[in-house]
Structure 1
Amino acid sequence: MKNFQGRTAVITGAGSGFGLELSRLAAAAGMNLVMADVQPDALDRAVSEIRASLIPGAEVLGFRLDVAKAAEVEAMGEATRARFGAPHLVFNNAGVGAGGLIWEHTLKDWEWVIGVNLMGVAHGVRVFTPMMLEAAKADPSYEGHIVNTASMAGMVNMPNMGVYNVTKHAVVSLSETLYQDLCLVTDQIGASVLCPYFVPTGIHASHRNRPADMQQGGKPTRSQLIAQAMTDKAVGSGKVTAAQVAQFVMDAVREKRFYVYSHPKSLGIVQTRIEDIMLARNPSDPFAAKPEIGAELRKALRAPQ
């Protein structure tokens, strides 16, 4: 996509982080926006800000939803079609974080994280891709692009992050398949996957938005508390900003580039994992470059309770 003005973007997780920053860039580029988020207060603030910054003729539609719920994403799709027609940019960005030893995740942990991180993306692809293909068929000048937010956790498997890793690997797979499937049927719609590393956004505090019917019950385990503390520290100390990552996304859409990384210098750990697979060797120590972190984690998990 080279031209954004007068076109429409649908952005989930638009109340904060990457979603809000991409909304700002899209508004500055002259796009109409559909901004969706599960947090009504954050969404209202974000929509008010974006509405005040829109160029004449552009519009914004705020839509409160839980992306894990198919009917709510479908309703957003119909509202988008009714207001703006088929969108041109879809950013399936909403996500939540959860850590701990993989066997200690409760059933509700699995349902919640898979529902948001994986099914939220799947619902966005399922609802908007046919709409975009229909628009492309009707108009040879139509251009569209779908961006799905995964994570570097979708490229490697850091310990004590089980359910999060699983969902983000699935989003990478979904996105790569989407790219290949689109290439089979059209040249007018592209796809990208965003794989950020530790960026200060707020995902480390995503439990604040966990629905009442998805509460895990009981107290967090030691491994979950350790994971939360380590994630808080890593995310909070991130040097790359959400605004920078949003710009990376816009650049990738312009260039029809599939993989979008916030920390490309960290791809060495991805290369090591691929070599492990190709050489059929056991998974390498993920903390080889920073052994003190691995030693700290093992000590904390093995300490007597």
Structure 2
Amino acid sequence: MEQLNGRVAVITGGASGIGLATARRFADEGMKLVLADIEQASLDRAVAEFRDRDVPVIGLRTDVGERAQVQALADAAWDAFGAVHVLFNNAGVAVYGPVQEMKHEDWEWSIRVNLWGVIHGVEAFVQRMLDQDEEGHIVSTASFAGLVPNSGLGVYCVTKYGVVALSECLYRDLRGTKLSASVLCPMLVKTNIGDSARNRPEELGGSSMVRKRNQEEQESLQGRTLQAPEVADRVLRAIKRRELYIITHEESREFVRRRFERIDRSFDAVS
């Protein structure tokens, strides 16, 4: 999908972090933008930024955990621009702590946003994109934690492993069509996800049910911290090259290799 000028991109979590950085890259390519975010003030600022640049853009406050709201986002995109060519399922949240300490609300909130949010995006957009019979691409944000287990991120890993599996299956199922799919698997990126509890619904525990990493845990994290624009560059390249896996950190390779070596060794016990 080399030609992006004049095409339409929908980005959830589009008002900050990786979503906003990628929106800026898309705008540089001449794309029209549909931004979705749960934070209205941030969304308004992002929309204003692009309008100041004369970029065709609309913004819609969207809770991706609500199927009806994602469907409304799709309707708004087609109503505004008549087509969608890139869907970036990017909205996400994180909770931290050992699996055995997680509350039901931690699981429900994380799965609702991180996994159901992507499922809702696929449900609302993909068939309509296929019906257009034009080139298109679906990108979904997972994580390094969707490829390798991370201590203290069990709930997050479960959701992100799901996003990886969904994307891999979607990539296969779209073979022979004009669409393709990618899954973004970064390590640390400078975004607001560490403060995602600011948007946690009260009925699912609110911001009071937050356990943050202590200093020792924070310092034990592996890998560099990238800036969001660096990740946006990789997303753009993957769309143009129809790459399935979007890996941002070279240092994640060793951890992935060791995981699959452990799996491979388990076959030695088969007899």
Where 1:35 maps in the other structure, the secondary structure is: strand
Deviations 1:42-88 (A, max 9, x none): 1111111112123xxx5101010110110100111111111112300
Match status 1:172 vs 2:169: no
Of 224, 239, 249, the residue aligned with 2:235 is 249
> Residue 116 of structure 2 is aligned with which of 116, 119, 122?
119
**Alpha-carbon distance between aligned partners in 1 of 2:90 and 2:253, rounded to the nearest angstrom:** 22
One-letter amino acid of the structure 2 residue matched with residue 208 of structure 1: R
Deviations 1:85-111 (A, max 9, x none): 230010000000111110211111111
Q: CA deviation at 1:264?
A: 2.3
Question: In 2, are the aligned partners of 1:16 and 1:201 still within 8 Å (CA)?
Answer: yes
Match in the other structure for 1:51: 51
1:230 shift after superposition: 3.5
Residue matched to 1:195: 185
Q: Which moved more, 1:113-122 or 1:45-54?
A: 45-54
Aligned equivalents of 1:171 and 1:32: distance in 2?
26
Residues 59, 169 of structure 1: CA spacing in aligned structure 2 closer, same or farther, 3 A cutoff? Answer: same
Deviation readout 1:204-225 (Å, 9 max, x if unpaired): 11111111221169765xxx34
Q: Per-residue CA shift, 1:104-156, capped at 9, x if unaligned?
A: 111111110000000000100111100110001xxxxx210000000000000
Q: How much does 1:231 deviate? A: 4.8
Structure 2: give runs of 5+ residues left out of the alignment. none
The one of 132, 137, 143 equivalent to 1:135 is 132
Q: How many residues align?
A: 267
Aligned-partner SS, 2:189 = coil
Change (3 A) 1:163 1:92: same
Please tell me whether the aligned partners of residues 106 and 216 of structure 1 are also in contact (alpha carbons under 8 angstroms): no
Q: Which amino acid aligns with 2:180?
A: G
Distance 1:14 1:278 in 2: 39
CA 1:228/1:2 → structure 2, altered by over 3 Å: closer, same or farther?
farther
After TM superposition, the structure 1 = structure 2 runs for residues 7-46 of structure 1, keeping only pairs within 5 Å, are: 7-46=7-46
Tell me the alpha carbon deviations over residues 255-274 of structure 1, each in whole angstroms, 9 at most, x when there is no partner.
11111011023211011001
The equivalent residue for 2:247 is 261
Mark the structure with the bigger radius of gyration: 1
TM-score normalised by L of structure 2: 0.93
Contact 2:199–2:207, Cα closer than 8 Å, also in 1: no
Query: How far 1:160 sits from its partner (Å)?
Result: 1.3
Residue of structure 1 equivalent to 2:260: 274
Q: TM-score, normalised by structure 1?
A: 0.83
AA aligned to 2:96 is G
CA distance in 1, matches of 2:164, 2:118: 11
Q: Which runs of 5+ in 1 are unaligned?
A: 137-141, 282-305
More divergent stretch after superposition (76-85 vs 150-159): 76-85
The change in CA–CA distance for 1:215 and 1:229 in structure 2 (over 3 A counts) is farther
Root mean square deviation of aligned Cα: 2.0
Aligned equivalents of 1:47, 1:111: Cα separation in 2: 30
Query: Percent same amino acid at aligned positions?
Result: 44
In structure 2, the CA distance between the partners of 1:52 and 1:112, relative to structure 1 (3 Å rule), is same
CA contact (8 A) 2:197 2:206 kept: no
Q: Distance in 2 between matches of 1:263 and 1:232?
A: 18
For 1:52, the aligned partner's letter is D
Counterpart of 2:75? Answer: 78
Runs of 4+ in structure 1 off by over 3 angstroms are 216-220, 224-235
| Local SS of the residue matching 2:159 | helix
User: Are the structure 2 counterparts of residues 160 and 173 from structure 1 closer, same or farther at C-alpha, using a change threshold of 3 Å?
Assistant: same
